[in-house]
Amino acid sequence: MTLQISLAGRVALVTGASRGIGRAIALQLARAGADIAVNYNRDAEAAAETVAAVQALGRKARAYAASVEQRVDAQRLAREVLADFGAVHVLVNNAGIASRGKAVIDTDPAEPERLFGVHVMGPFHLAQALLPQMRTLGRGDIVMISSVATRRHAGNGAPYNIAKAAMEALAFTLAKEERAHGIRTHVVSPTLTDTDMGRRLARARGSADIHALDASSPFGRVSVPEDVAATVAFLVSDLNAYVNGQNVAVDGGG
């Protein structure tokens, strides 16, 4: 018997889906049959490219500009997506920003507040806005895209470490609260991935080309967004019936 992921008849809202990991997740879920609501903050052109790529796969897609850390914006986003698609079965909280790489003593106090807003309050606001209808669907799925940074807590990254750790706490709480309503909640934690943010991080670590790190990476290559997207697709599919409240590291075992 061949096992195949099918998300036919389902709708996924992916935040921060204009590029990188978010775009890869949107496309992977669309390949499995889902219609996609593409959230973005600033880059309307990139979001339009994601929409076009989803539509080329034969699925419905539309882009929505919203700063999800703002409660009013998140609520508006939820209302508009529900009005256009009728339901949201899958919520992928991927929108994120990086910290500036300074020690705690040198960090602008506004920076952790800004990261907490995007990584934590955005998912919190969207959960409050979407859970009432998600509870009526029989099955719902929420995925938080975190980072292996929460396992290492490296120096010079407190705002990012704090925000991602709090995001995970929200996910694990939701996994317990919403299980009775058929809603599964997970964390997916990528390692260094070949994205715009990943390439900037590689340069900060002294590698002008991220692929210079291939040889020292698991399986002989740096992770790509499709690695993360495939993990998300499994977690939100019917192939996953009994896994809930887990943190899946997409790090090659490194």
Candidate list 40, 64, 160, 242, residue with the active-site label: 160
Catalytic residue status for 242: no
Structure tokens at 91: 């919520």
245: CB partners within 8 A, 6+ apart? 171, 172, 175, 176, 179, 184, 185, 186
Number of other residues whose CB lies within 10 A of the CB of residue 252:
14
Q: How far apart are CA 16 and CA 117, in angstroms?
A: 14
> Which residue from 236, 198, 157 is spatially nearest to 21, judged by alpha carbons?
198
192 to 81, 98, 106, 246, 250: CA distances (angstroms): 31, 13, 25, 20, 9
Q: Which long-range contacts (CB under 8 A, 24 or more apart) does 39-43 make?
A: 39/13, 39/14, 39/15, 39/63, 39/64, 39/65, 39/66, 39/68, 39/77, 39/95, 40/16, 40/64, 40/65, 41/16, 41/65, 41/66, 41/67, 41/95, 43/18, 43/19
Q: Which amino acid is at 66?
A: A
* CB hemisphere CA count around 87 (13 angstroms): 15
Q: Which residues are catalytic?
A: 160
